[in-house]
Amino acid sequence: MRRTKIADIIRTEPIGTELLVKGWVKAFRNNQFIALNDGSTPHNMQVVVDFEQLDPAQLERIRFGAAIGARGTLVESQGKGQKVEIKAAEIVIYGDCNPEEYPLQPKKQTLEYLREIAHLRFRTNTFGAVFRVRHTLAYAIHKFFNDRGFYYQHTPIITASDAEGAGEMFRVTTLPIENVPRTDAGEVDFDQDFFRRSTNLTVSGQLEAELAALALGEVYTFGPTFRAENSNTTRHLAEFWMIEPEVAFADLDDNMNLAEDMLQYVIRYALEHCADDLKILEDRLTEEEKSKPQDQRTMPLIEKLRFVTDNSFERLTYTEAIDILKNSNPNKKGKFQYPVEGWGTDLQSEHERYLVEKHFKKPVILTNYPAAIKAFYMRQDDPKEGVPGPTVSAMDILFPGIGEIVGGSQREERYERLVGRMQEMHIPEKELYWYLDTRKFGSCPHAGFGLGFERLVQFVTGMTNIRDVIAFPRFPGNAEF
């Protein structure tokens, strides 16, 4: 017989049909009731066996974690907890699981412990839910852009450019580490390296995406990016995935509209298609926060997601935000870890969350940041009255519980302005000749943004550590699996 997924059985409930299900044992009660899960749904299928008809040796092998198949008839369940169950005529055991050696046990285990056995944590209810939601969000992103006529671009993973100008990159080389060849001047001789120049893992596909947008009109990337930051936090990874759309003939307002539409679309899609998984994750988060004082607990997960989908995002300038923060009670009473002293302050997560959760009580888009704290490619604004210094047409989207989730800008399309900014920031023009060419030949206003996919998954699943929303996290001191 052909295997039927448990999700399909629950959805259609074909009573009286003979079925074959395959999965892993989650529980076995009274030598009669098997709770079976195949990963297609958070729900188990109850399989009822007649232990008097089973070989005792086979019965003994039905243990937590074992992989089995069950053929039988779907009937209405007489017990509580499920509407239907399979009355088994035959059980096949595909893989045994010794409970004395199995690192997972049928009990609650900490997320820290599960991180140490990341190769097995997919099998838990929590991580099954997380990775089904992750898949759904990825699909929704592709669907959103495809339905709007965007073209998906695969930008290089190995690159010679640093899109951010930050310098925190992983080097790619085939040179022997124990005996690096050097020039007469004592510098590394990259002429002997594979690419005959210094190369790194990409920190962003943005610059290459701009090249495509200035011919195809609307494009997006969705690929891995790498940052060699020595950050041991719950919000940073060394390897993560980025979504980066770029749109020709678009300004900052167009950019904000696109980002808001995209975020609301993909979160609505997850709410619609992952309701059961999100309920599991909401219950987990509620249980985790029971011991916290009421004022330190986060918004219930599904309420938080509706908070984003059901509210228009508040839009204000960085200058306006600084005035609000500077005059806020937490700042006046010294409750911010990083005091807001005035214009030019680089906003921290606590400031961003205050604006979203306390002041506006809705998602926020901040615009027109000081040029000094933003990247070279952002479009320079004309001076504005009441604004102390030069600004750029940048925007960040702030969400409850997480702070910044999207960063973007209108790109500097004016050749002279872009060159001047690169010179200010000591970014070599020769290395980025190809980027500058787009400003010399048929340049036009254009804009784009970056969304860290793991930040989005973290927000939607309610997981508090970003290492729990990617299968095999990479961070300082860790490259397991």
pLDDT tens-digit profile of 1-32? 899 999 999 999 999 999 999 999 999 999 99
Among 100-109, 271-280, 439-448, the least confident range: 100-109
Q: Which amino acid is at 242?
A: M
DSSP state of 250: -
Cα 443 from Cα 439, distance rounded (Å) = 5
pLDDT of residue 236: 87
327-361 burial, b if ≥16 CB within 10 A, otherwise e?
Answer: ebebbeeeebeeebeeeebebebebbbbbbbeebe
What's this model's pTM, rounded to 2 decimal places? Answer: 0.95
Question: Cα 64 vs. chain centroid, distance in angstroms?
Answer: 31
Adjacent-strand bridge partners of 92: 69
Adjacent-strand bridge partners of 478: 475
pLDDT of residue 396: 97
pLDDT of residue 372: 93
Cα 380 from Cα 259, distance rounded (Å) = 21
Query: Cβ distance 294 to 275 under 8 Å?
Result: no
Residue written as tokens 């320079």? 380
pLDDT bucket at 164, cuts 50 / 70 / 90? low
Q: Which amino acid is at 142?
A: H
460-471 confidence digits (pLDDT tens): 999 999 999 999
Whole-number average pLDDT of the chain: 95
**Sign of the four-CA dihedral 459, 259, 224, 411:** negative
Cα 255 from Cα 44, distance rounded (Å) = 43
Residue 162 predicted with pLDDT over 80: no
Find the helix packing angle between 301-309 and 252-273, rounded to 10°.
140
Mean pLDDT of 122-127: 96
Question: Cα 246 vs. chain centroid, distance in angstroms?
Answer: 19
Adjacent-strand bridge partners of 245: 220
Mean pLDDT of 47-71: 94
Q: Other CB atoms closer than 10 Å to residue 105's CB: what's the count?
A: 10
pLDDT of residue 234: 84
Mean pLDDT of 365-391: 95
Q: Which CATH superfamily is domain 123-168+203-468 in?
A: Bira Bifunctional Protein; Domain 2 (3.30.930.10)
Mean pLDDT of 42-70: 94
Q: Which residues contact 95 (CB under 8 A, 6 or more apart)?
A: 66, 67
pLDDT of residue 78: 87
Mean pLDDT of 264-291: 95
For the chain, residues classed under CATH 2.40.50.140 are 6-102
Residue 217 predicted with pLDDT over 90: yes
Strand order in the sheet with 199-201: 158-159, 199-201, 171-172
Backbone torsions φ then ψ of 111, nearest 5 degrees: -65, -35
Residue 426 predicted with pLDDT over 70: yes
pLDDT of residue 52: 87
Mean pLDDT of 226-232: 89
pLDDT of residue 461: 98
Mean pLDDT of 334-353: 94
Residue 166 predicted with pLDDT over 90: no
What is the CATH class of 6-102?
mainly beta
**Percent of the chain with pLDDT strictly greater than 90:** 87
pLDDT of residue 155: 96
Residue 167 predicted with pLDDT over 80: no
For the chain, residues classed under CATH 3.30.930.10 are 123-168+203-468
pLDDT of residue 163: 66
pLDDT of residue 233: 84
